[in-house]
A and B are shown apart, each in its own frame.
Chain A
């Protein structure tokens, strides 16, 4: 094994790492936003809208992320959706994550005691302020562990973007190994890297969880 190649390719790898993190953060934020929107719409929209959304959820959850990316990136131009690799990847990540986030938010909202909402209605709060002041704060706290968990899963999905040539870490590693024929070392290091990354994020997530849910435990 020979690890000296990492010196030469250091800058490219760092750039790739930056794009991986960018994709992860933006994909998580947009996916969470869209997911929240879906969960809220599903709560209040008429039945036919709910059906359409349910179909969307089933389609995204029933197909591989890779195939979704192919439809978007290679099939998109045929219907006039011409995107570069990075925006296509981000859009794909957002669409892919949204139904999972929506389900998490939905079960978070379901955990809000119904009496709270009825009480709010009884004292004359508008539907909008019920969402803003009761449903969201209470629902988010109970959804937090699952939200963190799925965000961690998304870090691992970002490597699939390399297949549609988004220049993230895995793409750079593949290029490096194709030029130097050091496939084993490169992929081994990548595996170790992801292990450390995922472990670190899940530790941080656990700490955040205990911090945010501390008041719940103190009160009971």
Chain B
């Protein structure tokens, strides 16, 4: 039967382990933003080769399960002689995966901007650089904020997969707890509740941003 004391006892160690979940997802999305912006720029660039590279990048990373990406990445690094801490490897891998989705979010937001905006800016004499940095990008950014928060929620959930490479985040910590207490039901439900709490907060943030940008 479900035992409340076991459930409560397993709660706090998992909340403590949540710091790694948050660390990996937040750093992952920051890295994803950086790479994703570059990929999106490559996709919209006038050079065919760059565009081709970017579209293969996006299609590969969106077509391969994150778990497989993690393992490939994890096993490739030692082969090519790179030795970095597992957390850094996890952040890089999650960030690279996120970059594919983020570059598509950017692309969608830029495509959704009315064409007249760029035309009007050009018509009043702004150079192409100003058109991008002062007209297109700021609007695209505020438009895609809710989608980015959504991506962060996906990353929080995806970060449970880095448990397979041995990082002590919520899922891994709950596996360890379940193994020592022999009460997997309580422990895993506690883990689920922590994830749910994080994601409901993020979803509320997303709704707030959506509301604010809609006005």
Interface residues, chain A, CB within 8 Å of chain B?
A: 58-59, 61-68, 70-71, 74-76, 78-79, 156-157, 159-160, 162-163, 170, 183-184, 187-188, 190-191, 194-195, 197-199
Give chain B residues whose Cβ lies under 8 Å from the Cβ of A76: 185
A to B CB contacts below 8 Å, 13 in the list: A67-B174, A67-B192, A70-B174, A74-B178, A75-B189, A76-B185, A159-B68, A160-B161, A191-B68, A191-B69, A195-B60, A198-B64, A199-B63
Give chain B residues whose Cβ lies under 8 Å from the Cβ of A58: 196, 200
Given A160-B161, A199-B63: A187 and B68 within 8 A (CB)?
A: yes
How far is A183 from B74 in the complex, measured between Cα atoms in Å? 10
Which secondary structure characterizes the binding site on chain B? helix
- Whether B158 sits at the interface, judged by CB under 8 Å, is yes
- Whether B71 sits at the interface, judged by CB under 8 Å, is yes
The chain B residue with its CB closest to the CB of A73 is: B184
Given A65-B157, A194-B68, A195-B59: A59 and B188 within 8 A (CB)?
A: no
Which secondary structure characterizes the binding site on chain A? helix
Q: Knowing that A70-B184, A157-B65 are A-B contacts, what are 11 other residue pairs whose CB atoms are under 8 Å apart, sorted by A's residue number?
A: A59-B196, A63-B157, A63-B195, A63-B199, A67-B160, A70-B171, A75-B186, A75-B188, A79-B2, A188-B76, A198-B62
Given A78-B2, A160-B161: A66 and B64 within 8 A (CB)?
A: no
Instruction: Please state if B185 and A71 are interface contacts (CB–CB under 8 Å).
Output: yes
Instruction: Please state if A78 and B1 are interface contacts (CB–CB under 8 Å).
Output: yes
Instruction: Please state if B195 and A75 are interface contacts (CB–CB under 8 Å).
Output: no
- Whether B44 sits at the interface, judged by CB under 8 Å, is no
The chain A residue with its CB closest to the CB of B203 is: A62
The chain B residue with its CB closest to the CB of A61 is: B199
Instruction: Please state if A74 and B171 are interface contacts (CB–CB under 8 Å).
Output: no
Instruction: Please state if B63 and A194 are interface contacts (CB–CB under 8 Å).
Output: yes
> Shortest CB–CB separation between residue B21 and chain A, in angstroms?
10
Instruction: Please state if B1 and A79 are interface contacts (CB–CB under 8 Å).
Output: yes
> Shortest CB–CB separation between residue A69 and chain B, in angstroms?
9
- Whether B163 sits at the interface, judged by CB under 8 Å, is yes
Instruction: Please state if B196 and A63 are interface contacts (CB–CB under 8 Å).
Output: yes
Query: Which of the residues A157, A163, A184 comes within 8 Å of B75, measured between beta carbons?
Result: A184
Instruction: Please state if B178 and A191 are interface contacts (CB–CB under 8 Å).
Output: no
How far is A66 from B160 in the complex, measured between Cα atoms in Å? 7
Query: Which of the residues A64, A78, A184, A199 comes within 8 Å of B195, measured between beta carbons?
Result: A64
Digitize B1-25: 1 where CB-to-A-CB distance is under 8 Å, 0 elsewhere.
1100000000000000000000000
Instruction: Please state if A79 and B185 are interface contacts (CB–CB under 8 Å).
Output: yes
Instruction: Please state if A62 and B196 are interface contacts (CB–CB under 8 Å).
Output: yes
Instruction: Please state if B63 and A66 are interface contacts (CB–CB under 8 Å).
Output: no
Given A70-B174, A75-B189: A64 and B158 within 8 A (CB)?
A: yes
Residues 164-183 of B at the A interface (beta carbon under 8 Å): 164, 170-171, 174-175, 178, 183
Given A64-B195, A187-B75: A159 and B67 within 8 A (CB)?
A: yes
> Shortest CB–CB separation between residue B111 and chain A, in angstroms?
17
- Whether B191 sits at the interface, judged by CB under 8 Å, is yes
> Shortest CB–CB separation between residue B54 and chain A, in angstroms?
16
> Shortest CB–CB separation between residue B161 and chain A, in angstroms?
6
How far is A75 from B7 in the complex, measured between Cα atoms in Å? 12
Give chain A residues whose Cβ lies under 8 Å from the Cβ of B59: 195, 199
Give chain A residues whose Cβ lies under 8 Å from the Cβ of B175: 70
- Whether B38 sits at the interface, judged by CB under 8 Å, is no
> Shortest CB–CB separation between residue B61 and chain A, in angstroms?
9
Instruction: Please state if B196 and A75 are interface contacts (CB–CB under 8 Å).
Output: no
Residues 27-82 of B at the A interface (beta carbon under 8 Å): 59-60, 62-69, 71-72, 75-76, 79
Give chain A residues whose Cβ lies under 8 Å from the Cβ of B161: 64, 66, 160
> Shortest CB–CB separation between residue A203 and chain B, in angstroms?
11
Give chain B residues whose Cβ lies under 8 Å from the Cβ of A159: 65, 67-68
Query: Which of the residues B2, B66, B75, B195 comes within 8 Å of A67, measured between beta carbons?
Result: B195
